[in-house]
Amino acid sequence: MATTVAGTQSTDRLQSALNKLADSVRGRLIRASDPGYEEARHVYNANIDRRPLAVLECANTADVIAGVNVAREEGLSLSIRGGGHNVAGFGTNDGGLVLDLAPIRNVHVNPGRKLAYAGGGATWGDVDHAAWPFGLATPGGIISTTGIGGLGLGGGFGHLTRRFGLVVDNIRAADVVTADGRLVHASADENPDLFWALRGGGGNFGVVTGMQLALHEVPTVYGGPIFYPASACGQVLRFFRDFMADAPRELGAFFGFHIAPPAPFVPEHLHGHTACAIVVAWTGPLEQAEAVIKPIREAGPVALDLAGPLPYPALNSLFDALLPKGLQHYWKSDFVTELSDEAIAVHEEHGPQVPTFQSLMHIYPLDGAVHDVAPDATAFRSRDVKFTHIIAGIDPERENMTARREWVRDYWTALHPYSAPGGYVNFLMEEGDDRIKASYKENYPRLQAIKRAWDPGNLFRMNQNIPPAAS
Ligand SMILES: Cc1cc2nc3c(=O)[nH]c(=O)nc-3n(C[C@H](O)[C@H](O)[C@H](O)COP(=O)(O)OP(=O)(O)OC[C@H]3O[C@@H](n4cnc5c(N)ncnc54)[C@H](O)[C@@H]3O)c2cc1C
């Protein structure tokens, strides 16, 4: 097709805007012809294959503002990338601009006030590392390479959640670059509507360049996985459900199906065997740990017991090496109000068919401190569910993904009738507006109204999108 004069002019204008951007920022603007583009365009999930026009590695807030302004003025799709772990691949796009916040990752700890200020591109490993010398920690994800930006703004749970709540319950304030290129502060006292929406509304409302997080005293923890043969999974899962209902909040624990990998910490005779596991994290007094965990050790015939005392950052990075960047992912998930015997029967049928070393099914409790917060106190609404599960088909090879998807879909379809409506937004792939609405439930109209106030043009739409309310 012949290039029109108007087409050439708009291409020239765009190139000129990108050239100016490259010259004005302290970070690097990486375009398709630049070295490093292949690495820069990819996110954690290698199944996502998109080609943005440019990736801006933001060195500071000024770079973020410059990037937001260019995307808005030039009508470009805009992705915000924190840790890059979102499996739907919102951290990259086709033909648009990516703001990679990874260089903005400094974490400053005020041990006296038990607060951390973390850059918007920090990971949970960065937060753990900075807080641990003071015996402090805050709830974060169970894989330490995940970003605080995506995980934290979508809700965020991990080993410490039953005791200290979701990440959103621990965010005290945030600095945000808005769609019109301003930097604003959001807290309970300043821009409270924006602050409310950020705590569960994901990247819909602006680019968070830094957030203040509450820290808690977390001394040496007693944690790690306890494995049982998959044949015992029904018994172990029923135990897990009943035990967690009354377990002290100092006990974090999740249930999972896995294939034992050929890792140095797994005895050779177990390599390749399918197992179920309860991963424990006791943060109460260390001398009570063995007694609290004893029933878990008696829940079934233990195949391998790796639980013991360890520093919290070690527990929180225990599984990092099993899930590096560059694997292919396909996920499906749901919230669960009651883990019924019928649902457990579905798990008994499908869980032991977990297909690869990396694939998994996990059930995380969302109770304890999560239930202390009112459903309308933050944008994260689902304070009445007890668990969320995730079924993840993960494989190094793209050509195996048809089979991996099939396992995930069959499992999820069988389980879905026993699940609660909606799903955790951070576990959703691109599953349509109804799933997003169902996740936010009664909070959705307020989120739409706040979106209209802060991003009426829906610049921030590469996410589980909440479109602005109509006028
Ligand atoms: C291996 C693995 C383990 C996980 N474990 C857990 C877990 O234990 N608990 C849990 O709750 N979730 C967990 N998740 C899900 C996780 O919460 C989501 O994948 C989340 O989107 C990852 O955030 P990120 O910053 O790494 O991703 P990114 O892809 O960088 O970001 C995802 C989206 O979040 C928004 N965003 C990110 N940073 C910012 C920012 N600074 N400002 C504004 N918006 C931003 C953007 O919309 C962006 O597209 C896990 C995911 C993976 C892959």
**Domains recognised in the chain with CATH numbers:** 5-100 (3.30.43.10), 107-217+439-454 (3.30.465.10), 221-427 (3.40.462.20)
C-alpha pair distances (Å), 278 with each of 12, 222, 252, 296, 343: 58, 13, 10, 8, 18
Which residue has the CA at smallest separation from atom 36 of ligand 1? 150
pLDDT band at 5 (very low <50, low <70, confident <90, very high): confident
User: Residue 315: is its pLDDT beyond 70?
Assistant: yes
147 C-alpha to center of ligand 1: Å? 5
Q: Which atom of ligand 1 is nearest to the CA of 141?
A: 8
The residues that bridge with 177 in the sheet, in sequence order, are 183, 207
Degrees to nearest 5, angle at CA 355 with 439 and 411: 40
- pLDDT > 90: what percent of the chain? 96
Instruction: Mark residue 75 as left, alpha or beta (left: phi above 0; alpha: psi -120 to 50; beta: remaining).
Output: left
Residue with tokens 């995940």: 146
pLDDT above 90 for 424: yes
Q: In angstroms, what is the span from residue 124 Cα to ligand 1's centroid?
A: 11
User: For residue 102, what pLDDT band results from cuts at 50, 70 and 90?
Assistant: very high
Please state, in angstroms and as integers, the Cα–Cα distance from residue 84 to each residue in 212, 361, 399, following that order.
21, 21, 23
Q: What are phi and psi of 274, to 5 degrees?
A: -80, 135
Residues 34-90 have pLDDT tens digits of: 999 999 999 999 999 999 999 999 999 999 999 999 999 999 999 999 999 999 999
Q: Is the predicted pLDDT of residue 263 greater than 90, yes or no? A: no
Q: What is the reported pLDDT for 261?
A: 87
- pLDDT averaged over every residue in the chain: 97
Gap from CA of 53 to ligand 1 centroid (Å): 22
Which residue among 55, 79, 80 has the greatest number of ligand 1 atoms within 8 angstroms of its CB, and so is best to mutate? 80
147-164 as b/e: b if 16+ CB within 10 A: bbbbbbbbbbbbbbbbbb
* Residue closest by Cα to atom 44 of ligand 1: 203
- Summarised one tens digit per residue, pLDDT across range 126-171 is 999 999 999 999 999 999 999 999 999 999 999 999 999 999 999 9
Which residue puts its alpha carbon closest to atom 13 of ligand 1? 141
Q: Is the pLDDT of residue 1 over 70?
A: no
Residue 390 has pLDDT above 90, yes or no: yes
Question: pLDDT tens digit string along 113-125?
Answer: 999 999 999 999 9
Mean pLDDT across 306-333: 97
Amino acid occupying residue 51: R
Integer Rg of the chain from CA: 22
Residues 88/428, Cβ–Cβ less than 8 Å:
yes
Between helix 341-350 and helix 401-415 the angle, nearest 10°, is: 160
Ligand 1 center to 148 CA (angstroms): 7
pLDDT at position 3 is 57
pLDDT for the residue 471: 74
> What is the predicted pLDDT for the residue at 465?
98
207 CA from centroid of ligand 1 (Å): 13
Phi then psi for residue 105, to 5 deg, are -130, 10
pLDDT tens-digit profile of 288-301? 999 999 999 999 99
Residue 6 has pLDDT above 80, yes or no: no
Residue 40 is which amino acid?
A: A
pLDDT, one tens digit per residue, over 326-350 is 999 999 999 999 999 999 999 999 9
Q: Ligand 1: distance of its center to the CA of 399 in Å?
A: 26
Residue 265's pLDDT band (boundaries 50, 70, 90)?
Answer: confident
Amino acid 264: pLDDT: 83
User: Which protein residues touch ligand 1 with a CB less than 6 Å away?
Assistant: 43-44, 79-87, 90-91, 101, 120, 141-143, 146-147, 149-151, 153-158, 202-203, 207-208, 323, 426, 462-463
Contact 177, 64 (CB under 8 A): yes
Nearest CA to ligand 1 atom 33: 150
Position 213 scores a pLDDT of 98
pLDDT value at residue 219: 85
Q: Among the atoms of ligand 1, which is closest to the Cα of residue 121?
A: 41
Which pLDDT band, with edges at 50, 70 and 90, does 429 fall under? very high
Instruction: Tokens 């769609």: give the residue.
Output: 179
Instruction: Please check the confidence at residue 4 and state whether its pLDDT lies above 80.
Output: no
Cα separation, 175 vs 186, in Å, equals 6
Atom of ligand 1 nearest to the CA of 151: 17
Mean pLDDT of 398-422: 97
